[in-house]
Amino acid sequence: MKNQRIWITTATLLALIWGALAVVMRQTDLLVSWPQKVLDLAGAAPWHDGKTASESQRRLHLHEVITRLNQLDFQQRRALREDGQDILDKFFASLTEEEQKEYVDRTVEPYFETISKGIKLLTEEERKRMVARMRGDLRNLRANSADGDRLSDQDREFFEFMVAEDPVLFLREAPVKMKMELAPVIEDMQSRLQGFRR
Protein backbone atom coordinates (compact mmCIF):
# COMPACT_ATOMS: atom_id res chain seq x y z
CA MET A 1 0.00 0.00 0.00
CA LYS A 2 2.80 2.37 0.96
CA ASN A 3 4.75 1.49 -2.22
CA GLN A 4 1.65 2.06 -4.32
CA ARG A 5 1.17 5.54 -2.82
CA ILE A 6 4.82 6.41 -3.53
CA TRP A 7 4.45 5.32 -7.18
CA ILE A 8 1.20 7.26 -7.58
CA THR A 9 2.79 10.37 -6.03
CA THR A 10 5.88 10.00 -8.23
CA ALA A 11 3.79 9.49 -11.37
CA THR A 12 1.64 12.53 -10.50
CA LEU A 13 4.71 14.71 -9.91
CA LEU A 14 6.29 13.58 -13.18
CA ALA A 15 3.07 14.28 -15.06
CA LEU A 16 2.93 17.78 -13.55
CA ILE A 17 6.57 18.45 -14.41
CA TRP A 18 6.14 17.25 -18.00
CA GLY A 19 2.92 19.25 -18.32
CA ALA A 20 4.65 22.41 -17.07
CA LEU A 21 7.58 21.76 -19.42
CA ALA A 22 5.19 21.37 -22.37
CA VAL A 23 3.52 24.68 -21.52
CA VAL A 24 6.89 26.46 -21.26
CA MET A 25 8.08 24.94 -24.55
CA ARG A 26 4.87 25.98 -26.30
CA GLN A 27 5.19 29.54 -24.96
CA THR A 28 8.87 29.89 -25.86
CA ASP A 29 8.49 28.26 -29.28
CA LEU A 30 7.32 31.61 -30.63
CA LEU A 31 10.48 33.27 -29.29
CA VAL A 32 13.07 30.79 -30.53
CA SER A 33 14.25 30.02 -34.04
CA TRP A 34 17.14 28.23 -35.73
CA PRO A 35 18.28 27.93 -39.37
CA GLN A 36 16.70 24.56 -40.08
CA LYS A 37 13.35 25.78 -38.82
CA VAL A 38 13.45 28.68 -41.30
CA LEU A 39 14.47 26.33 -44.13
CA ASP A 40 11.68 23.89 -43.25
CA LEU A 41 9.13 26.71 -43.31
CA ALA A 42 10.47 28.17 -46.56
CA GLY A 43 10.50 24.73 -48.20
CA ALA A 44 6.99 23.90 -47.02
CA ALA A 45 5.21 26.94 -48.44
CA PRO A 46 1.61 25.86 -49.09
CA TRP A 47 1.77 27.18 -52.67
CA HIS A 48 4.87 25.22 -53.72
CA ASP A 49 4.74 22.30 -56.17
CA GLY A 50 1.80 23.68 -58.14
CA LYS A 51 -0.50 23.90 -55.13
CA THR A 52 -2.72 26.88 -54.59
CA ALA A 53 -3.12 28.79 -51.36
CA SER A 54 -5.55 31.49 -50.35
CA GLU A 55 -4.31 35.02 -49.80
CA SER A 56 -4.70 34.63 -46.04
CA GLN A 57 -2.72 31.35 -46.06
CA ARG A 58 0.04 33.01 -48.06
CA ARG A 59 0.11 36.02 -45.75
CA LEU A 60 0.26 33.87 -42.60
CA HIS A 61 2.99 31.62 -43.96
CA LEU A 62 5.05 34.57 -45.19
CA HIS A 63 4.68 36.23 -41.78
CA GLU A 64 5.88 33.03 -40.07
CA VAL A 65 8.97 32.74 -42.31
CA ILE A 66 9.85 36.42 -41.83
CA THR A 67 9.35 36.23 -38.06
CA ARG A 68 11.53 33.13 -37.72
CA LEU A 69 14.22 34.59 -40.00
CA ASN A 70 14.34 37.81 -37.98
CA GLN A 71 14.88 35.82 -34.78
CA LEU A 72 18.20 34.47 -36.08
CA ASP A 73 21.50 36.07 -35.11
CA PHE A 74 24.29 36.84 -37.59
CA GLN A 75 26.00 33.45 -37.26
CA GLN A 76 22.72 31.62 -37.73
CA ARG A 77 21.88 33.70 -40.83
CA ARG A 78 25.28 32.92 -42.29
CA ALA A 79 24.76 29.21 -41.60
CA LEU A 80 21.29 29.49 -43.15
CA ARG A 81 22.73 30.94 -46.37
CA GLU A 82 25.53 28.37 -46.50
CA ASP A 83 23.22 25.40 -45.93
CA GLY A 84 20.07 26.40 -47.74
CA GLN A 85 20.41 29.41 -50.03
CA ASP A 86 18.74 27.47 -52.85
CA ILE A 87 15.66 26.86 -50.65
CA LEU A 88 15.50 30.54 -49.69
CA ASP A 89 15.93 31.58 -53.33
CA LYS A 90 13.13 29.26 -54.43
CA PHE A 91 10.88 30.61 -51.69
CA PHE A 92 11.63 34.24 -52.60
CA ALA A 93 11.07 33.56 -56.31
CA SER A 94 7.68 31.99 -55.52
CA LEU A 95 6.43 35.19 -53.90
CA THR A 96 4.40 37.83 -55.70
CA GLU A 97 6.05 41.23 -56.22
CA GLU A 98 4.10 42.64 -53.29
CA GLU A 99 5.13 39.71 -51.07
CA GLN A 100 8.77 40.09 -52.14
CA LYS A 101 8.65 43.76 -51.17
CA GLU A 102 7.18 42.89 -47.76
CA TYR A 103 9.83 40.19 -47.26
CA VAL A 104 12.67 42.60 -48.03
CA ASP A 105 11.08 45.48 -46.11
CA ARG A 106 10.89 43.34 -42.98
CA THR A 107 14.13 41.34 -43.24
CA VAL A 108 16.65 43.64 -44.95
CA GLU A 109 15.43 47.25 -44.58
CA PRO A 110 15.69 47.34 -40.75
CA TYR A 111 19.48 47.10 -41.10
CA PHE A 112 19.76 50.35 -43.06
CA GLU A 113 18.91 52.64 -40.17
CA THR A 114 21.25 50.75 -37.84
CA ILE A 115 24.06 50.87 -40.40
CA SER A 116 23.52 54.58 -41.05
CA LYS A 117 23.56 55.40 -37.33
CA GLY A 118 26.53 53.11 -36.72
CA ILE A 119 28.63 54.76 -39.42
CA LYS A 120 27.96 58.17 -37.88
CA LEU A 121 29.24 56.96 -34.49
CA LEU A 122 32.61 55.83 -35.88
CA THR A 123 35.72 57.95 -35.81
CA GLU A 124 36.68 59.48 -39.15
CA GLU A 125 39.40 56.86 -39.72
CA GLU A 126 37.09 53.96 -38.78
CA ARG A 127 34.36 55.41 -41.02
CA LYS A 128 36.72 55.60 -44.00
CA ARG A 129 37.81 52.00 -43.52
CA MET A 130 34.22 50.79 -43.05
CA VAL A 131 32.86 52.66 -46.06
CA ALA A 132 35.78 51.48 -48.23
CA ARG A 133 35.10 47.89 -47.15
CA MET A 134 31.36 48.30 -47.82
CA ARG A 135 32.05 49.68 -51.29
CA GLY A 136 34.39 46.81 -52.06
CA ASP A 137 31.89 44.22 -50.82
CA LEU A 138 29.08 45.77 -52.86
CA ARG A 139 31.22 45.92 -56.00
CA ASN A 140 32.42 42.34 -55.56
CA LEU A 141 28.95 40.99 -54.93
CA ARG A 142 27.52 42.85 -57.90
CA ALA A 143 30.38 41.74 -60.16
CA ASN A 144 29.84 38.10 -59.12
CA SER A 145 26.08 38.18 -59.64
CA ALA A 146 24.42 36.77 -62.75
CA ASP A 147 23.25 40.26 -63.71
CA GLY A 148 26.67 41.82 -63.22
CA ASP A 149 27.89 40.99 -66.71
CA ARG A 150 24.65 42.23 -68.28
CA LEU A 151 24.82 45.72 -66.80
CA SER A 152 25.06 48.42 -69.42
CA ASP A 153 27.89 50.94 -69.17
CA GLN A 154 25.36 53.53 -68.00
CA ASP A 155 24.08 51.16 -65.29
CA ARG A 156 27.65 50.45 -64.20
CA GLU A 157 28.41 54.17 -63.98
CA PHE A 158 25.28 54.77 -61.91
CA PHE A 159 26.11 51.84 -59.63
CA GLU A 160 29.68 53.07 -59.12
CA PHE A 161 28.46 56.63 -58.46
CA MET A 162 25.87 55.54 -55.89
CA VAL A 163 28.28 53.28 -54.06
CA ALA A 164 31.01 55.94 -54.10
CA GLU A 165 28.74 58.75 -52.91
CA ASP A 166 26.73 57.06 -50.18
CA PRO A 167 26.56 53.26 -49.81
CA VAL A 168 23.59 53.42 -47.42
CA LEU A 169 21.65 55.67 -49.79
CA PHE A 170 22.46 53.26 -52.61
CA LEU A 171 21.13 50.37 -50.53
CA ARG A 172 17.95 52.25 -49.63
CA GLU A 173 17.28 53.15 -53.28
CA ALA A 174 18.15 49.75 -54.75
CA PRO A 175 15.36 47.65 -56.31
CA VAL A 176 13.81 44.92 -54.14
CA LYS A 177 15.59 42.05 -55.90
CA MET A 178 18.96 43.79 -55.62
CA LYS A 179 18.39 44.36 -51.89
CA MET A 180 17.69 40.65 -51.58
CA GLU A 181 20.94 39.84 -53.40
CA LEU A 182 22.82 42.25 -51.17
CA ALA A 183 21.30 40.95 -47.92
CA PRO A 184 24.45 39.00 -46.94
CA VAL A 185 26.63 42.09 -47.42
CA ILE A 186 24.16 44.24 -45.48
CA GLU A 187 24.07 41.78 -42.58
CA ASP A 188 27.86 41.62 -42.61
CA MET A 189 28.06 45.43 -42.50
CA GLN A 190 25.93 45.55 -39.38
CA SER A 191 27.97 42.80 -37.78
CA ARG A 192 31.20 44.70 -38.50
CA LEU A 193 29.75 47.95 -37.16
CA GLN A 194 28.88 46.21 -33.91
CA GLY A 195 32.47 44.96 -33.77
CA PHE A 196 33.78 48.50 -34.26
CA ARG A 197 31.66 49.85 -31.42
CA ARG A 198 32.82 47.25 -28.87
pLDDT digits (tens, 9 = 90+) for 51-80: 889 999 999 999 999 999 999 988 899 899
Residues 75 and 5 in one domain: no
Residues 189 and 143 in one domain: yes
Quick one: pLDDT at residue 25? 53
Domain, as residue range, for 11: 1-31
Quick one: pLDDT at residue 147? 52
C-alpha to C-alpha distance for 144 and 116, rounded to whole angstroms: 25
Residues 24 and 74 in one domain: no
Residues 177 and 137 in one domain: yes
Is pLDDT of 119 > 90? no
Residues 42 and 117 in one domain: no
In the chain, % of residues over pLDDT 90: 29
Which of 46, 73, 107 is a domain's end point? Answer: 107
Residue, of 76 and 187, whose pLDDT is higher: 76
Nearest by Cα to 186 from 36, 77, 88: 77
pLDDT, tens digit, 9 for 90 and up, residues 138-159: 677 666 655 544 445 655 565 5
C-alpha to C-alpha distance for 164 and 158, rounded to whole angstroms: 10
Residues 7 and 26 in one domain: yes
Question: What does each C-alpha distance from 105 to 10, 28, 120, 135, 177 come to in angstroms?
Answer: 52, 26, 23, 22, 11
Residues 81 and 4 in one domain: no
For the chain, give the mean pLDDT: 79
Residues 21 and 103 in one domain: no
Residues 139 and 195 in one domain: yes
Is pLDDT of 7 > 70? yes
Count of domains for the chain:
3
C-alpha to C-alpha distance for 50 and 44, rounded to whole angstroms: 12
Nearest by Cα to 85 from 178, 184, 171: 184
Residues 187 and 143 in one domain: yes
